[in-house]
């Protein structure tokens, strides 16, 4: 399994022809997208779940969550499994573009775009090497507080060690 540790490196990806980024330090693994298993009564923007290393991980459909039209999963789609505060969630995206190192001073506060559904999930923006605006998202903001129970709790290493 590949792990990412550098806080200043970001994965750039596309959703509905817009460029977004996630800090690589939050990424556990990137999986080729398959159709997630749909779970009854989950919110529409939850595509379903996937299995990873024996855990069931909920997957957010970024297109639906951002208010864009849904489309069929293709071989270009990936699921990015992220972890924060001991919880895991996946995000289904259109395509990966690149990995890029960004200095913290180059990330600006997100714009206040009330008409844009995706703006509430932004933590900042930066311009990439080509001058294209990239929107930094927090995948865990993509869940409502009421959805927190959906996130996959990961056992802390100390808990695992105590059980042995």
Provide the greatest CA pair distance for the chain.
52
Amino acid 11: pLDDT: 93
Domains parsed from the chain with CATH numbers: 9-163 (2.40.50.180)
Is residue 87 within 8 Å of residue 151, measured between CB atoms? Answer: yes
Amino acid 13: pLDDT: 95
Mean pLDDT score, 148-161? 49
Share of the chain above pLDDT 70, in %: 78
Is residue 140 within 8 Å of residue 23, measured between CB atoms? Answer: no
Choose among 94, 89, 58: nearest CA to 75.
94
Q: Which is more confident, 136 or 154?
A: 136
Mean pLDDT score, 115-139? 80
Question: What pTM, to 2 d.p., does this model score?
Answer: 0.80
CA distance 43 to 45: 6
Amino acid 68: pLDDT: 93
Amino acid 160: pLDDT: 41
CA distance 66 to 16: 9
Is residue 16 within 8 Å of residue 70, measured between CB atoms? Answer: no
Tens of pLDDT, residues 91-125: 999 999 998 888 889 999 887 765 554 567 888 99
Tens of pLDDT, residues 23-64: 988 899 999 998 999 988 888 889 999 988 888 899 999 999
Q: Which is more confident, 134 or 115?
A: 134
- Residue 143 binned pLDDT confidence (cut-offs 50, 70, 90): low
């Amino acid at each position: 399994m590949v792990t990412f540790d550098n806080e200043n490196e970001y994965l750039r990806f596309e959703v509905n022809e817009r460029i977004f980024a996630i800090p690589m330090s939050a990424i556990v693994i990137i999986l080729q997208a398959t159709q997630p298993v749909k779970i009854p009564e989950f919110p529409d923007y939850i595509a379903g779940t996937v299995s990873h290393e024996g855990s069931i991980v909920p997957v957010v459909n970024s297109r639906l969550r951002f208010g864009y039209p849904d489309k069929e999963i293709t071989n270009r789609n990936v699921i990015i499994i992220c972890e924060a505060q001991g919880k895991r969630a996946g995000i289904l995206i259109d395509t990966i573009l690149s990995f890029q190192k960004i200095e913290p001073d180059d990330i600006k506060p997100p714009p206040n775009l009330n008409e844009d559904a995706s703006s509430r999930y932004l933590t900042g923006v930066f311009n990439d090497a080509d001058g294209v605006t990239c929107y930094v998202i927090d995948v865990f903001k993509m869940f409502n507080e009421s959805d927190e129970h959906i996130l996959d709790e990961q056992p802390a290493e100390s808990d695992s060690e105590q059980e042995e």
